[in-house]
């Protein structure tokens, strides 16, 4: 149980376009979903936390107008990278928690974004 999927797994796009990444909890309802970004040889960096039906909480330094997060249901959160640029190329990973056990995060397989 506790499977999280992400779609797409790979994205290559031109600079200036917007890219939407979906994160779904397949067999459970996720109280909270998290979006991370990981650059090569670096640690995961939390971008934002989203709860169903409310606005996402962004970490310091993350532009909320550039990284739009929508959490429409307890099983789906989306991250849209608007007007993507080459420096946005990264590995984007979502995770989800169940109920109060927020220390246990279930990770999606990640989405690798390459902006040309």
Partner 1 sequence: RKEVEQDPGPFNVPEGATVAFNCTYSNSASQSFFWYRQDCRKEPKLLMSVYSSGNEDGRFTAQLNRASQYISLLIRDSKLSDSATYLCVVNMRGNYQLIWGAGTKLIIKP
List of residues contacting partner 1 (CB under 8 A): 32, 34, 41-46, 49, 91, 93, 97, 102-105, 107-110, 112
- E strands along 1-116, which residues? 4-7, 10-13, 19-25, 32-38, 45-51, 57-58, 67-73, 76-81, 90-97, 106-107, 111-115
Q: Among residues 83 and 104, whose Cβ is nearest to partner 1?
A: 104
Q: Find the shortest distance in angstroms from Cβ 9 to partner 1.
A: 10
Give 57 or 82: the residue with its C-beta nearer to partner 1. 57
Output the smallest distance, CB 49 to partner 1, in A: 7
End-to-end CA distance of the chain: 37
Pick 32 or 78: Cβ nearer partner 1: 32
Look at the block and give the residue holding tokens 């090569």: 40
């Amino acid at each position: 149980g506790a499977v999280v999927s992400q779609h797409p797994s790979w994205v290559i796009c031109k600079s200036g376009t917007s890219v939407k990444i979906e994160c779904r909890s397949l067999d459970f309802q996720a109280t909270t979903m998290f979006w991370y970004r990981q650059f090569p040889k670096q640690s995961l960096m939390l971008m934002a936390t989203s709860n169903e039906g409310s606005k996402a909480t962004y970490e310091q330094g993350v532009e909320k107008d550039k990284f739009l997060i929508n959490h429409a249901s307890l099983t789906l959160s989306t991250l849209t990278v608007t007007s993507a640029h080459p420096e946005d190329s990264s590995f984007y990973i979502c995770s989800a928690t169940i109920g109060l056990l927020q220390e246990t995060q279930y990770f999606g397989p990640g989405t690798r974004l390459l902006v040309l």
